[in-house]
Amino acid sequence: MTAPQRPRVPRRALDGVLLLDKPLGLSSNDALIRAKRLYLAKKAGHTGTLDPLATGLLPLCFGEATKFSQDLLEADKTYEATMRLGIRTTTGDAEGEPVDTRAVTCDEAAVLATLPGFLGNIVQVPPMYSALKRDGKPLYEYARAGQTVEREGREVTIHALELLACALPDVTFRVTCSKGTYVRTLAEDIGEALGCGAHLVALRRTGVGALTLEHSVTLDALSDATESERDAWLQPVDALLSTFPSVHLDEDATRRFLHGQRLKLAELNVSREAMNASRVRVYAAAQGRLLGVAKPGEGVLAPERLVVTAEN
């Protein structure tokens, strides 16, 4: 006899953002799969990966929020990182093998004097152990095969760089940086500037755009929670868009906007800040619900991405 099939557990249509505090040793995709299973969510995605070595803020998007995950990929990030001076590794972090060992002759004053040189626009050469592709193949595949390929330097921006602790050979710092910044490359470059080399031994992401760890939750806490407690951890979809100015539409403009029509800015109550923004979040004034995002320009408000709900 064929064993009876287990009944399928129905998936839920959830819309929102979960601020997950990712644990050490887990990939971003594995963390997403676990959270999606706990929520029984139909649709979910993350907003940019954290290495297994890294912990901290990993915003997960459910349902309609997945439409706006790209906006967080573009956002600035804040990290707290610890580098160990005197040792360079194959990967630039603690997962690699040592390739160079030098004496650490600098002191805290030298570290403090060196950090400001990395503020502003700097050029980084992407590490070989990265997911960037060359001829359709990730760089880490070349690296694992013992090959090194030429990489062009890329400009990134270091907005803030602060020393948190100096217990040599370990140095802990906080950095706020633009998208595309490799913190382990930053640690290596700081180590070279200090004359002794360095590699990253710990990394924790504390901020993505305007989102922080303050309202985050761990997978363990989610596992122990009831369904209603889990749902209470979900932030609204527009948590991803809090840095965009807002525009509120009346009933007629709401209807036309949801049909994808471009609206004349002169006919709307739009602030100067919103007029000059590259993107705005758009709400129905009557209900206060998010309709989507739009681009203002050339005298019109052009719908870009719409939020689909039962009310549309």
* Residues with Cβ within 8 Å of residue 203, at least 6 apart in sequence: 51, 53, 54, 55, 56, 79, 80, 81, 82, 93, 183, 184
| Structure tokens belonging to residue 302 | 């052009």
Given the residues 15, 21, 30, 51, select the one marked as catalytic: 51
Q: Give the burial string for 40-49 (b: 16+ CB within 10 Å, else e).
A: ebebbbbbbb
Encoded amino acid at 22, one letter: K
SS3 labels along the chain:
CCCCCCCCCCCECCCEEEEEEECCCCCHHHHHHHHHHHHCECCEEECCCCCCCEEEEEEEEEHHHHHHHHHHHCCCEEEEEEEEECEEECCCECCCCEEEECCCCCCHHHHHHHHHHHCEEEEECCCCCCCCEECCEEHHHHHHCCCCCCCCCEEEEEEEEEEEEEECCEEEEEEEECCCCCHHHHHHHHHHHCCCCEEEEEEEEEEECCEEHHHCECHHHHHHCCHHHHHHHCECHHHHHCCCCEEEECHHHHHHHHCCCCEEHHHCCCCHHHHCCCCEEEEECCCCCEEEEEEEECCEEEEEEECCCCCC
- 135 tagged catalytic: no
CA nearest neighbour of 39 among 31, 50, 48, 27:
31
Q: Which residues are catalytic?
A: 51
